[in-house]
Structure 1
């Protein structure tokens, strides 16, 4: 059997961070996200993890006789879905962009407005033992919020679908990790 059993990843821990557009992310894995200004954690995430999905149109072109000769791809869309388990101010802002919270004498008042489009930066940080991967999404937007249970038999949770927007060079996101299985062999100098 070919392959290497050290290559598969089982992401046993994760955090989702958000910040205003243009906020820098550390270029190393040593710097703790909690020490980087402007980045805020959304809090506890569901044990179901995150999922990434792709959607695009494609058109097939055939030569006379039915032989496939080209495929044209367009309208590529990438999303990440994650479920937040905390009802904190960071999650509130993602779920209800443009809404307000005020606190007076320990009483919170939330004014929920019709959501406005609000693009922000995200960082999904994943751990598998000593392996860490940070997926930096410079421009994303929560474009769908799943149903929220308000009951005594189901945990209140916020399923967020984050749509990822490409930059001017068509880059959707950057991954940085310390996974030895993904190392590109270095060419010796000289």
Structure 2
């Protein structure tokens, strides 16, 4: 049987970070995200993990006789869905863009407004033992929020669907990792 049992990844831990568009991500994995002031963690994430969605339109073109000769792709869309388990200010801002929170005498007042479009940067950090992968999304936007349970039998959680926008070079996101199984051959020295 061909294959290498070191190749499959089981992401045993993850964090989701957000920052204003244009915020740089460390280009190494040794810099802790908590040391980069502009990046804010959303907090605890559901054990269900994150999922990546892909959607695009395709048009098939056939030659006489029914032979497929070409496929045209358009309207490519990529999303990441993750469930946040904390009701903190970072999550509040993602769920309710354009809304506000004020505190006076220990009482918080949240003014929820109709959501406005707000693009931010995201970093999904995944861990599998000593392997770390950071997925840096330069421009994304929370475009869907799942139903929020207000109950004594289920955790209050916020399922966020993040739509990823490409940059000027059509790059959707950039992954940096220390996974030796995915390393490209290095150019010879000299």
2:177 is matched with 177
Query: Following TM superposition, by how much is the alpha carbon of 1:187 offset from its aligned partner in structure 2, in angstroms?
Result: 2.7
Q: Report the number of matched residues.
A: 190
Q: Which residue of 1 aligns with 2:2?
A: 2
Task: Give 5+ residue unaligned stretches, structure 1.
Answer: none
Other structure's SS at 1:92 match:
helix
Tell me the SS of whatever aligns to 1:91. helix
Alignment map for 1:47-62 (pairs within 5 Å): 47-62=47-62
Determine helix, strand or coil for the equivalent of 1:141: strand
Following TM superposition, by how much is the alpha carbon of 1:23 offset from its aligned partner in structure 2, in angstroms? 0.3
The aligned residue for residue 34 of structure 2 is: 34
After superposition, the CA RMSD in angstroms is: 0.5
Name the SS for the 1:24 alignment partner. Answer: coil
Q: Report the Cα distance in structure 2 between the residues aligned to 1:37 and 1:6, rounded to whole angstroms.
A: 35
In structure 1, what is the equivalent of residue 82 of structure 2? Answer: 82
Unaligned runs of 5+ in 2: none
Deviation per CA, 1:26-57: give whole Å up to 9, x if none: 00000000000210000000000000010000
Spell out the pairing of 1:126-165 with structure 2 (5 A cutoff): 126-165=126-165
CA distance in 2, matches of 1:56, 1:65: 27
TM-score normalized with structure 2 length: 0.99
